[in-house]
Chain A
Amino acid sequence: MATDRQSFDEIDWAQIDEETEREISPNFIIVAVGTALMGLVWAFDYFFVTGTYDAAIGMDFGNQYTPTFQFIGWGYDVTQLDWLFAFSLLLFGAYMILPLYQNPRMTKYYWRDMKRNRPAMASLGWLLFIFVIGVIGPAVIKAPTVDLMTKYQPPMFLEINNIYPINCAGDVVGGACQGSLEHPLGTTGDGKDIFRIIVYGMQISMKIGFIATLFVVTIGSIVGTVAAYAGGLVDEVLMRWVDIQQSFPTFILYLLILYIYGASLFLFIVLFSLFSWEGTARYVRSNALAKTEEEYIKAVQLSGASTYRVIRSHIMPNSASSIVTDITLLIPSFILFEAQFAFLGLGDSTIPSWGVLIAQGRSDLAFAPWITLIPGLFLFFTILAFNFLGDALLDALNPEADAEAEK
């Protein structure tokens, strides 16, 4: 073939032999740079903001309001959870969203499948909405505050007997206070604006989802692949540990810690995600074992690739779709857990989460049902959306199954 192109039989391997096989991917660079930047800001927050505050009062109370970006006039206090949230967003962006852009053909292929599923598309839209508002909202909108003067304001287009609110923000028609734009979703019994709580609650739900995913996927994949690849005693020990942990009553441990140290969202998320990776680990292990039998894995091994490369470039991407599906069904259970604990009064009652709001409206159901209903609907639709999306992903992310069916 008379071309001026490079041809495989003209390679002088003796020349190439010394070079390394590792390539640094742009995704990794993004994560590394992002983590480094975050590390800097964290160090600044820890040593100069929180540190000086603690030094000023002479002791560390923890959970103090220490606005990180005071110097530019932004009064947002970045907490431990925010750091974790930011880190998980970084990973999500670099390893979930960026690859979609990097592999346009594959993305298009999935998208074509996904598009046909209307409930899934609606769910995706809803979750995107929750995500965007949840991430940006709390930075822009002020936190809900207690103001007894504005208690029991009804939402727009609803009304309430004027004996409940002290000061009706809207018009009073025939002894009933009408909803107004000032509090579009009404207020609670202590005058907190429900709209703001919903927006803050979105962030809390997203934090629960993302941080739990970060823990579950990281630990689960590592334990799963190590067990599958090491085999023997390591496999045995890890999998028996998974068995033990799966039968461990996390709820009781949570209660115990709660009574000693008090409830916090951080505790909830970390504790429950540290005790929920068993299913993923088991799944990743069995998947890795099944995949090593595939001929394409044998072909890669035959190419002389390292075990790291086999796992990183072939086992992981091929397990990813199933892990994603697994996770979309795991996240809603976390969000629901948080809401249930809040309702039972076992959560952190100071945070503006949907669950806390539902619990708050409990005693006012007779005359102000929206306090419970509005967050309840948000919770319901979010969980429904996750389930629909998980189902659609299961169908879309499986080209092998499709190919089998076409045969």
Chain B
Amino acid sequence: MSPVTEEPILSVRNLKKHYPITEGILSRQVGAAKAVDGISFDIAEGETLGLVGESGCGKSTAASSIIRLEEATEGEVIFNGGGRAGRSREGDGAHPNDVTTFDDEELKSFRRDAQMIFQDPSSSLDPRMTVGSSVAELLLVHGMTDKQRRREIVEDLLERVGLEADYYDRYPHEFSGGQKQRIALARALVLNPEFIVADEPVSALDVSIRAEILSLLNDIQEEFGLSMLFISHDMSVVREVCDRVAVMYLGEIVEIGDTDEVFRNPQHPYTEALLSAIPRPDPSAEQENIELKGTVPSPTNPPSGCKFHTRCHMVIQSDEFDLEQERWRSLLTFRDRVRSGEVDPESIREALAFEADDLSAVDDETIKDELRTEFELAEELSDPEAESILQDALDALAEGRMEDANDHLSTFTTPCEEQVPEETDHGNGHISACLRNKPETEHGAPLADD
């Protein structure tokens, strides 16, 4: 089900959303949280694009910028639905269908063509309004003053989403989570949109209800030919629902492609890690479980180069060394932690002395061993040159010379932190952004056999 129409219904180009960080009375801007930092993708008519990533990676911000619940900082969101198809750019390069530049009137008519389903059904319905009026309100807002007609339409719609017409006069607290999500779906549908953003529509629901809602979503999408942006952190749900999938990390899309293709043949280590986290029903199947250590770095101060290099299990080694991949990862993590001042040998010494009841019993060797164990650095690195640098760094650390330790460890560098990966096209719209995938790369083999 790959896109075949020439003009996608939605095309996002280099979309950015930065939240300014201000300081002082005068609100001087001192930085920005780059929640979404230049994403681009297309959604074809009738297609579902999945947007996946960990919490905090900017998926929801991307959604609200696309649907213009928040104003984007930069970039274009070109929406060709709702009879806007076929328009071309004007002389100054501005596109008439760019949602981010819509004026009030255009925006209001855009609201009829694009709607959203929210994550938490219990907070997405006004608790003091009957669910019927909540749904019918959209009709009223768009000018349908005939009360009876509104009611008929909404009652019909409630039945279509698997509820009963006389639920119209009930309040949200009278419904279960699954029912509320059906009502939320009815609200998103009532204006007959062409495009729906579903922001984690099933993650707040019980597993037993998820399948029902997902299949309802599927049926409705087919019946009305909806296009959808489906946001989720759950890869197994994405596999069920989406035609294509885009993987987001720290405000950027690291891999995008047909769902089957991406799941079968992931090209970015991050995708690989996410996929390895899907539980499989076959206990005998060998499964490599890739554990991503640490949390998503802060978008206010993202890592240089490839933003994933601080956590990547496949991080590229520099040419000077030849270590096992696992050790190399540990070494870089150790370097970063020392650099940020999170490693404190004195506190290790105290902790050990407390156990041994004697401060003098803890010599430098013990501390070095402790550090090696903690950071999984092995007793001795297989590369003698790397081992001697690490030894120097550990000595310096044990003696409290943090600066020196830092200097020693700075010898370990990776191309990943220096170069920003470019997009590699694997064919058929499958694109990833990883240094390993560059054909001319000298940094070891690509991630997977292509």
Say whether B143 contacts A19, CB under 8 Å.
yes
- Which residues on the B side are within 8 Å of A3 (C-beta)? 156
Interface string of B139-175 (1 = CB under 8 A from A): 1111111000100111111011000000001110100
- Please give the number of chain B residues whose Cβ is less than 8 angstroms from any Cβ of chain A in the complex: 52
- Which residues on the B side are within 8 Å of A303 (C-beta)? 111, 115, 137-138, 141-142, 187, 191
Say whether A8 contacts B171, CB under 8 Å.
no
Q: B12: shortest Cβ distance to chain A, in Å?
A: 18
Say whether B126 contacts A296, CB under 8 Å.
yes
Q: Enumerate A1-25 residues with CB–CB distance to B below 8 Å.
A: 1, 3, 5-9, 11, 13, 16-21, 23
* Interface presence of B354 (CB below 8 A): no
* Interface presence of B119 (CB below 8 A): yes
Contact status of A20 and B143, CB under 8 A, knowing A296-B125, A402-B173: yes
Q: Enumerate B56-98 residues with CB–CB distance to A below 8 Å.
A: 64, 67, 69
Say whether B143 contacts A8, CB under 8 Å.
no
- Which residues on the B side are within 8 Å of A106 (C-beta)? 128, 171
Say whether B190 contacts A8, CB under 8 Å.
yes
Contact status of A299 and B187, CB under 8 A, knowing A304-B107, A403-B173: yes
Say whether A399 contacts B224, CB under 8 Å.
no
Q: Enumerate A68-97 residues with CB–CB distance to B below 8 Å.
A: none
Say whether A294 contacts B128, CB under 8 Å.
no
Q: B200: shortest Cβ distance to chain A, in Å?
A: 11
- Please give the number of chain A residues whose Cβ is less than 8 angstroms from any Cβ of chain B in the complex: 41
A300-B122 Cα distance, complex, nearest whole Å: 15
A145-B124 Cα distance, complex, nearest whole Å: 61
* Interface presence of B130 (CB below 8 A): yes
Closest to A303 in B: B138
Q: B159: shortest Cβ distance to chain A, in Å?
A: 7
* Interface presence of B433 (CB below 8 A): no
A16-B149 Cα distance, complex, nearest whole Å: 12
A303-B115 Cα distance, complex, nearest whole Å: 8
Q: At the interface with chain B, which of A184-192, A311-319, A370-378?
A: A311-319
* Interface presence of A302 (CB below 8 A): yes
Q: B110: shortest Cβ distance to chain A, in Å?
A: 8
CB-contact partner of A8 in B109, B126, B192, under 8 A = B192
Q: A18: shortest Cβ distance to chain B, in Å?
A: 7
* Interface presence of A105 (CB below 8 A): yes
Say whether A5 contacts B156, CB under 8 Å.
yes
- Add 7 more A-B contacts to A298-B116, A399-B173 (CB < 8 A): A8-B156, A13-B191, A16-B142, A295-B123, A295-B124, A296-B124, A298-B69
Which positions in A face B, CB cutoff 8 Å?
1, 3, 5-9, 11, 13, 16-21, 23, 103, 105-106, 109, 294-296, 298-306, 309, 313-314, 317-318, 399-400, 402-403
